[in-house]
């Protein structure tokens, strides 16, 4: 048998190895929070889209929830305004909100475009469509920081209808309050709220970190699996800080409301989603209900 | 019986008068091209949304297709560029296209917001979503004017699925070519193409004119109904010029491909859509197949 | 703008005012007990049919339950019999029952005819069809008054199937006992039992009175809204008598078994049904669960 | 084995013999025109109802179409009018029409009652319900004989919906013209028109004759099977007269429009319907398309 | 009326007598355990197939579960092995298991063939298909007797799908354990487990005895109906022994888990199934929940 | 990045490469004729099952049609008979037919078992189930060789229902003639007939040869793609002989009746099915309609 044939047969083996993973998640909903470097680096972006499209084609039901981070700041500046932050949250006046919504929708349709180019039907919606995300004003330490909303209700009908009709839904985190005023929403919060509302099997955050560390100064202390109990202890013991704290709280909340596994993935690794799902090598940190649902070799 | 009761009973009579019109269009699709003054004047805007929402609630299946005209120019200037027109068509380089798409999506979601605030579920899509609008580059007198597309194919699945699931679809005229590159599309063309693809009963253009005139200098020569034959004669005789020419050609094409009636309405009249549909007083000009389908008293 | 156009635009405003009411009851079931003067006066009859047909067309699911009162007596006499009443209830021997059933079915098909002539599909059924109404003999103060039945069970399958297939069901109050013998039923009772069985949102009685009065000698003491508690108090205090007592008890029972609002309307007012539903001027008396569901300005 | 057991086992054999007939007509529609003696004799009536109910239960889809003949005359007289006939057709003025409709609906609901008592769900409709039967005035030799209609259109939706929802439809031959005026219809005509509209497999007329004779004076000349060609020849040769002529023409028309077999049965024979369907002894005369569809031993 | 007609009319009466029984079990699932003499005697076999096919055609949903008993031994010997029994259970080594599976599938397809020849669509499955029957090794008094399994789980999807698609399922009692190893299953156990899993109305065992006796030496002491309580008492009092004990325990378990009636029928009587279902002469012994469900005259 | 991670990332690339192939055949039916060495060698058998199961899980709709070849001869001998062949076709007397059916069903259920063990629901049927394969006796050069049948009709309802309910159908080539007598069928013929009847996209034969050769003595002359025209020329020119001739004729017939591509694969190559479908290296020979559907680089 010639060499090219051997290489080809290796490929068959890889496909066969994927079999049990495909089975396990068949027709399950997976919410992917897409953000960070994976949204900026063109190669990484292409790979994330490939991964999600493949998940769709092999029978999963992925939903993308994305932010727009740096692009928003770029456009705020472009129109001559000065980005302003309070306690790390963007102060969002009416003009900023207008720019933010335009940029998020631009990103949204650009993702639709990428998925369509791979032959899969995608539809981009914001939290306004079909009343998907209802919010109320969110204060920052009691201070009004403008049109920043926290989710009070998710109406998942449009998402479920799109999944039912075989579309891949792509969601940008904009919502309306009870007076139908527009608000910006943290994308992590939106992904978490949607995952709960659609009863997702998995929620995966693409981030710019490797995962959760026992000792944040020791790169070898990456934790591959963490029960909700363990996560709460880590938080209680003050190990977790910075942007990881709300993210980890989101993870805990998602698990407690019915999502089976939440993953904090390193979005800087090519095809991190596929690797997480189709191999038994854990990428990043998985938050799980309890030890019985643990499945990586540590 | 007191006076307030009499007033109330007059209202009942109006509702009863609407009965035959509600019956006639029950579950029929009506495509509304929304543009011009009706998009700028806040009061008119509110009334158009009320009209379309009412049509939805009484059993019609309306679809809104909108442009973004003046708002695009405003944003092009805001970001320091100079709008440029060739033969009346906007020269659309990559930067302009980016702005145009952002603005159109902003308008799109703002319409969703307005409809949602009236308690009806709307979903805003662009021609990218689900591959709705496929285009190729459009030349202007053989000259390349950038990312301006003409529609080559409509894939109405997303629209039909939204109607089926009881959403009101709102479409902005952006499409992709076979390489999945973004193009701007004339909103009239998009409305016409979609009306044909979904087999609409009616297509209504909200414009800034009163309708088609026999003699454009004589305001009393407004034509209330025009068969395709008559419209072709008017064009052949050179009576029709300016922006009306392509619009009238769109009307003729729509009728010839199965739309029953096309209306050129004066969007500056409050509730012009309701008036057109629920009264037997013709507003603007209706283009029809032949004389047998005529139903206004002239 | 000319005068005729202004009049037309007033009409548009009326339609727009109906919007929130159409929304509130969209796809909700409304049972209309049709009787009294509204069944005898040809003009009122036409208006009731128009009202119910409009409700159907704008998305409600109306069901008509009707009696046959005076027409039955007329035919009993026509065939040479003497109508006989015991405690206000018609003594119904076999011959009278035969006439009563013939008359009720005649009225039933005549209503079907009227609704069909307005372009809506109606189907007339009696409580025999599909075993809709099961009864047992009803005694009057322990006395046998013949084939007068009280409902023991409602099998709403035929009604639900007709609604599902987009027909307007029209029901006449005839039932069978466990031996499949024919009985006459009080139409108010039938309307109430059906409203409960199909889980109606509203139950409206068209009557020949203006509503419930605090002081039956004071025409200004009409009560526009009455909670179940208040209604029970009124009855307990002996304010309610005559034909109103069983009707009010029916109302209370309907509310207690899940109907949201019950209306006692003055069927002598033109379009009283539309006025009740599409304006915020209360016609007659509404019986509601408790004060929180009150919505008229008193 | 004791004697009672032997008797019981004979019964099993009868059921087994029915097997191939049950198979042949499984889920096929059978229209039964019910009239004549079988409507008057209580024992025969009970047997017809048993037969049709059994057909329903073993998987057929029967529809009953009935007349009211003698009962109408009885009531016309009862109310002091004089029945009047022109060329054998009842002159039907408005008062007669009113009585006729009442009587037909009485008979209709009485049949519903009988079927319900055997545990099968039936629904009685007239040609008014759901616009089932549309008619125009029928002249008799050019003479106006009042409200006697001939069918111009059948809208079988209500019948198909009832069959779909597992009800046994029972139809009385009343229709409306284009102005929604009530007309009486010949029951044979109604049965034939409905059989064609619902694409029935079989149409069976219960009559008061044994069938079609070659020689009407020779009781041994009963024809058990007749092709459309043969039937036309018999008519052409002047063998067929009286009430049989329109009936035979109805049969021919039904066959020519897609009904597979039409039967003229002797309704005076107990269980004639079951005998016809479940045994290979032909009862009465079958009209068939051509000789290839012949299946009785002659 | 001639004699042949009289005979034919007697047949009609038999069909009419079947009416109430057809009604009672319409669309109900009936599991028939087919075994014993009725599987060996060709005439009896034909009659059982006729009976089950008739049940299918008149609206029941029968499922056949069969064994292969003597045929297995015949083939074991044919291939030169010696059948071996321990405590009355066949010792099933790998070679025997292979033969047993082949024979059971042969019998299975032969039954399919018989049913198909009567014009009804049947599909034969084993407990392997769609994972229908999951088992674990069954010990006999603690002793390993090879591949004999006891059912731990029933996955009835394939059975329900076949019924839904109008097939008659025929099941042979083979199952797999958690390692997907093949096991033989007692056919009575399989019938009982399936009856419970599909929520059957009836479970009928075709056996080679007349039923349960009060006094096994007195042929007149046959019990026609037995409540679960009475059956437990009989067992407790030591009246029941041999193969009847596990069968009776199966009956009790089936009743306790929702099957309405279980029948022990004498499969040696022609058409015993039809007789049991369509006549009020009890064949064999019925096990019922309590006395209220008793319906034979004793 | 460490080495194990690199290896893992290579795997992701392989999955991504499969994307376009998964898309192309999504929800398409693929009939796999399974036979030859791939049925005997345990490792190859396992790989074929893995391949088919993977195809099922990633969205294809595979159907397996299998033979039983050598196993039948083994059992014929085991029971003391002498296999006999006439013109290469097994002479199939009644005893041989009985063995053949038992063996084919054994193989059938063993394949079900293998697929179930990989977590996919399979159902094994023969051509008897639901009347799938109807045959007539096949003569060999005019000589009666017993129960060898040729297919006259395929009734694919059971296959389509199983696919619809998400089962993987596994078919063994047994059929019945019009008298419901059992016949053996060539498995290639059965696969071809089923592929046509279910309108398959692909039909793949697993064989023991590498494919079709231009020059059968030159191993380098393997043809990777062959149009129907070219295949007919090869046959006409006498290049094709032996068992390849009927197989190639089957391929031609399948293409001519609507199957898009037929593959003659070398079943001795591990994962030949996956390699054929998921790589652009042609394995064996593909028969296609015409040159426009060619897609391998030659």
Asked whether D and F share 3 or more beta-carbon pairs under 8 angstroms, the answer is: no
pLDDT over threshold 50, residue F246: yes
C77 to each of A260, C92, C173, D106, how far by Cα in Å? 76, 14, 21, 19
Lowest mean pLDDT among A165-169, C153-157, D224-228: D224-228
Mutate to test the interface with B, among A46, A129, A161 (most CBs of B within 10 A): A129
E8 located within any domain: no
Which residue from F106, F124, F130 is facing E102, i.e. has the nearest CB? F106
Q: How many CB pairs under 8 A join A and F?
A: 108
E184 located within any domain: yes
Residue whose token pair is 């069970």: C153
Residue C46: what pLDDT? 92
pLDDT over threshold 90, residue F292: no
> Do A54 and F16 make contact, defined as CB atoms within 8 angstroms?
yes
Mutate to test the interface with B, among A102, A156, A176 (most CBs of B within 10 A): A102
Q: Which residue of E has its CA nearest to D59?
A: E58
Higher-confidence residue of D251 and E9: namely D251
> Do E14 and D9 make contact, defined as CB atoms within 8 angstroms?
no
Greatest distance between any 2 Cα atoms in chain F: 72
- Categorize the per-residue pLDDT at F298 as very low, low, confident or very high, splitting at 50, 70 and 90: very low
Are residues A127 and A178 both part of a single domain?
yes
Which residue from A8, A54, A274 is facing F281, i.e. has the nearest CB? A8
Are residues C133 and C244 both part of a single domain?
no
F250 located within any domain: yes
Which residue from A10, A26, A274 is facing F12, i.e. has the nearest CB? A274
Find the Cα–Cα–Cα–Cα dihedral D234, D235, D239, D243, rounded to 10°.
Answer: 130
The model's pLDDT over F159-169, given as tens digits with 9 standing for 90+, comes to 999 999 999 99
Average pLDDT over every residue of C253-267? 91
Mean pLDDT of the residues in chain C? 88
pLDDT over threshold 70, residue A55: yes
Q: Which residue of E has its CA nearest to F80?
A: E79
Residue B257: what pLDDT? 85
Are the C-beta atoms of residues C203 and C192 closer than 8 Å to each other? Answer: yes
B261 located within any domain: no
- Categorize the per-residue pLDDT at D17 as very low, low, confident or very high, splitting at 50, 70 and 90: confident
CA distance B42 to A22: 52
> Do F129 and E117 make contact, defined as CB atoms within 8 angstroms?
no
pLDDT over threshold 60, residue A144: yes
Q: Which residue of E has its CA nearest to D4?
A: E281
Which of E161, E183, E200 is a domain's end point? E200
> Do F54 and A18 make contact, defined as CB atoms within 8 angstroms?
yes
Higher-confidence residue of D298 and E222: namely E222
Residue C24 burial (CB count, 10 A): 12
Are residues A134 and A188 both part of a single domain?
yes
Give A83→chain B minimum CA distance, Å. 16
Mutate to test the interface with C, among B5, B14, B119 (most CBs of C within 10 A): B14
**Stretch (H or E) spanning C239:** none
Question: Which of F142, F130, F138, F208 lies closest to F169, judged by CA?
Answer: F130
Asked whether E and C share 3 or more beta-carbon pairs under 8 angstroms, the answer is: no
Which residue from B15, B23, B279 is facing C119, i.e. has the nearest CB? B23
Contacts of A109 in chain B (CB under 8 A): 101, 105, 126, 128-129, 174
What is the SS3 assignment for D267?
A: coil
Residue whose token pair is 């029953």: B260
pLDDT over threshold 60, residue F179: yes
Question: Which of B38, B39, B30 lies closest to B63, judged by CA?
Answer: B30
Contacts of E116 in chain F (CB under 8 A): 128, 130-131, 176, 180
- Categorize the per-residue pLDDT at C77 as very low, low, confident or very high, splitting at 50, 70 and 90: confident
Strands (DSSP E) contained in C117-274 are 122-126, 133-140, 143-154, 168-172, 174-176, 182-184, 202-207, 212-213, 222-223, 225-227, 261-266
Residue F296: what pLDDT? 45
The model's pLDDT over B123-164, given as tens digits with 9 standing for 90+, comes to 999 999 999 999 999 988 888 999 999 999 999 999 999 999
Q: Enumerate neighbours of B (3 or more CB pairs within 8 A).
A: A, C
* DSSP codes, C128-144: TGGG-EEEEEEEETTEE
Distance separating the N- and C-terminal Cα atoms of chain D: 39
Q: Please give the share of chain A, as a percent, with pLDDT higher than 90.
A: 55
The model's pLDDT over F198-211, given as tens digits with 9 standing for 90+, comes to 999 999 999 988 88
Contacts of D158 in chain C (CB under 8 A): 121, 123, 167
CA distance A173 to A195: 13
Are residues C234 and C190 both part of a single domain?
no
Structural domain boundaries, residue C68: 40-200
* DSSP codes, chain A: --HHHHHHHHHHHHHHHHHHHHHHHTT-EEEEEE-THHHHSHHHHHHHHHHHHHHHHTT-EEEEEE--HHHHHHHHHHTT----EETTEEPB-HHHHHHHHHHHHHHHHHHHHHHHHTT--EEEEETTGGG-EEEEEEEETTEEEEEEEEEEEE-THHHHHHHHTT-EEEEE-EEE-TT--EEE--HHHHHHHHHHHTT-SEEEEEESS--EESSTT-GGGEESEEEHHHHHHHHHTT---TTHHHHHHHHHHHHHTT-SEEEEEETTSTTHHHHHHHSSS--SEEEESSGGG--S--
Are residues A134 and A282 both part of a single domain?
no
> Do B113 and A176 make contact, defined as CB atoms within 8 angstroms?
yes
pTM check: above 0.80: yes
Q: Which residues of E touch F (CB under 8 A)?
A: 78-79, 98, 101-103, 105-106, 108-109, 112-114, 116-117, 121-126, 128-131, 157-158, 161-162, 165, 167, 174, 176, 180, 182
> Do F182 and E113 make contact, defined as CB atoms within 8 angstroms?
yes
What's the CATH code of the domain at F84? 3.40.1160.10
Are the C-beta atoms of residues C199 and C95 closer than 8 Å to each other? Answer: no
Q: Which residues of D touch C (CB under 8 A)?
A: 78-79, 98, 101-103, 105-106, 108-109, 112-114, 116-117, 121-126, 128-131, 157-158, 161-162, 165, 167, 174, 176, 180, 182
> Do D278 and E11 make contact, defined as CB atoms within 8 angstroms?
yes
Q: Which residue of B has its CA nearest to A157?
A: B165
> Do D9 and E278 make contact, defined as CB atoms within 8 angstroms?
no
Residue A52: what pLDDT? 95
Give F277→chain A minimum CA distance, Å. 10
What the block records as the tokens of E188 is 């009575």
Which of E166, E200, E234 is a domain's end point? E200
Residue E27: what pLDDT? 87
> Do F165 and E176 make contact, defined as CB atoms within 8 angstroms?
no
Are residues A146 and A259 both part of a single domain?
no
Residue A280: what pLDDT? 66
Lowest mean pLDDT among B214-218, C265-269, E273-277: B214-218
The model's pLDDT over E15-35, given as tens digits with 9 standing for 90+, comes to 888 888 888 888 899 999 999
Which residue from E114, E121, E128 is facing F112, i.e. has the nearest CB? E128
Residues that constitute the known binding site of F for substrate? 68-69, 90, 184
What is the SS3 assignment for B242?
A: coil
Residue A215 burial (CB count, 10 A): 10
Residue E176: what pLDDT? 98
Are residues D191 and D48 both part of a single domain?
yes
Are residues D222 and D130 both part of a single domain?
no
- Categorize the per-residue pLDDT at C294 as very low, low, confident or very high, splitting at 50, 70 and 90: low
Which residue from D5, D51, D59 is facing E58, i.e. has the nearest CB? D59
E167 located within any domain: yes
Are the C-beta atoms of residues E163 and E209 closer than 8 Å to each other? Answer: no
Q: Which residue of A has its CA nearest to F15?
A: A15
> Do D128 and C113 make contact, defined as CB atoms within 8 angstroms?
yes
Max mean pLDDT among B20-29, D104-113, F83-92 falls in D104-113
Residue B32: what pLDDT? 97
CA distance C183 to C144: 13
Structural domains in chain F (count): 1
What is the SS3 assignment for F55?
A: helix
The model's pLDDT over E117-142, given as tens digits with 9 standing for 90+, comes to 999 999 999 999 999 999 999 988 88
The model's pLDDT over A204-242, given as tens digits with 9 standing for 90+, comes to 999 988 888 887 778 788 898 899 999 999 998 887 877
Q: What is the 3-state secondary structure (H, E, C) of F151-163?
A: EEEECCHHHHHHH
Q: Is the dihedral of CA A252, A257, A260, A262 positive or negative?
A: negative
B213 located within any domain: no
Which residue from B78, B116, B131 is facing A131, i.e. has the nearest CB? B116
- Categorize the per-residue pLDDT at A91 as very low, low, confident or very high, splitting at 50, 70 and 90: confident
Are residues D100 and D167 both part of a single domain?
yes
Are the C-beta atoms of residues B128 and B182 closer than 8 Å to each other? Answer: yes
Average pLDDT over every residue of C255-260? 90
Contacts of A126 in chain B (CB under 8 A): 109, 112, 124
Are residues D98 and D126 both part of a single domain?
yes
Residue B3: what pLDDT? 67
Residue B246: what pLDDT? 84
C52 located within any domain: yes
> Do F13 and A59 make contact, defined as CB atoms within 8 angstroms?
no
Q: Is the dihedral of CA E228, E231, E235, E237 positive or negative?
A: positive
Are the C-beta atoms of residues F86 and F54 closer than 8 Å to each other? Answer: no
Q: How many CB pairs under 8 A join C and D?
A: 101
- Categorize the per-residue pLDDT at F294 as very low, low, confident or very high, splitting at 50, 70 and 90: low
Residue B292: what pLDDT? 61
Cα F68–F74–F76 angle (5° rounding)? 95
Residue E216: what pLDDT? 72
Are residues C149 and C281 both part of a single domain?
no
- Categorize the per-residue pLDDT at D85 as very low, low, confident or very high, splitting at 50, 70 and 90: confident
Residue E230's contacts (CB-CB under 8 Å, 6 or more residues apart) are none
Contacts of E102 in chain F (CB under 8 A): 102-103, 105-106
What the block records as the tokens of B192 is 């016409």
Residue F70: what pLDDT? 84
The model's pLDDT over B229-280, given as tens digits with 9 standing for 90+, comes to 999 998 888 878 777 888 899 899 999 988 999 999 999 988 889 888 887 6
The model's pLDDT over F83-129, given as tens digits with 9 standing for 90+, comes to 888 877 788 999 999 999 999 999 999 999 999 999 999 999 999 99
Lowest mean pLDDT among A289-293, C249-253, E254-258: A289-293
Q: Which residue of F has its CA nearest to E77?
A: F79
Residue D296: what pLDDT? 45
CA distance E167 to D224: 37
F297 located within any domain: no
The model's pLDDT over A10-34, given as tens digits with 9 standing for 90+, comes to 777 888 888 888 888 888 999 999 9
Q: Which residues of F touch A (CB under 8 A)?
A: 4-5, 8-20, 22-23, 26, 47, 50-51, 53-54, 57-59, 118-120, 269-271, 274-275, 278-279, 281
pLDDT over threshold 60, residue E298: no
Contacts of C161 in chain D (CB under 8 A): 161-162, 165, 167
CA distance C66 to C171: 6
Are residues E70 and E186 both part of a single domain?
yes
Residues that constitute the known binding site of A for substrate? 68-69, 90, 184
Contacts of E268 in chain D (CB under 8 A): none
Which of C178, C200, C222 is a domain's end point? C200
The phi, psi pair for F55, rounded to 5°, reads -55, -45
Residue F4: what pLDDT? 63
């Amino acid at each position: 048998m010639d060499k090219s044939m051997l290489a080809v047969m290796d490929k068959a083996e890889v496909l066969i190895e994927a079999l049990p993973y495909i089975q396990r998640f068949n027709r399950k909903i997976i919410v992917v929070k897409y953000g960070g470097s994976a949204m900026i680096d063109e190669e990484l972006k292409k790979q994330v889209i490939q991964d999600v499209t493949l998940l769709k084609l092999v029978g999963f039901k992925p939903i993308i929830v994305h932010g727009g981070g740096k692009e928003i700041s770029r456009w705020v500046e472009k129109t001559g305004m000065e980005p302003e932050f309070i306690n790390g949250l963007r102060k969002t006046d009416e003009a900023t909100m207008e720019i933010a919504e335009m940029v998020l929708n631009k990103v949204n349709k650009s993702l639709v475009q990428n998925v369509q180019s791979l032959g899969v039907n995608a539809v981009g919606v914001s939290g306004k469509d079909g009343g998907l995300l209802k919010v109320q004003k969110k204060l920052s330490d009691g201070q009004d920081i403008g049109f920043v909303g926290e989710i009070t209700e998710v109406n998942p009908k449009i998402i479920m209808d799109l999944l039912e009709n075989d579309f891949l839904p792509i969601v940008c985190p904009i919502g309306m309050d009870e007076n139908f005023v527009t608000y910006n929403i943290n994308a992590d919060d939106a992904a978490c709220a949607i995952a709960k509302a659609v009863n997702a099997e998995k929620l995966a955050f693409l981030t710019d970190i490797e995962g959760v560390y026992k000792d944040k100064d020791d790169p070898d202390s990456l934790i591959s699996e963490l029960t909700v109990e363990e996560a709460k202890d880590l938080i209680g013991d003050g190990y977790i800080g910075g942007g990881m704290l709300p993210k980890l709280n989101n993870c805990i909340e998602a698990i407690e409301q019915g999502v089976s596994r939440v993953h904090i993935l390193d979005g800087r690794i090519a095809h991190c989603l596929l690797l997480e799902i189709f191999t038994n090598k854990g990428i990043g940190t998985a938050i799980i209900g309890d030890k019985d649902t643990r499945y990586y070799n540590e």
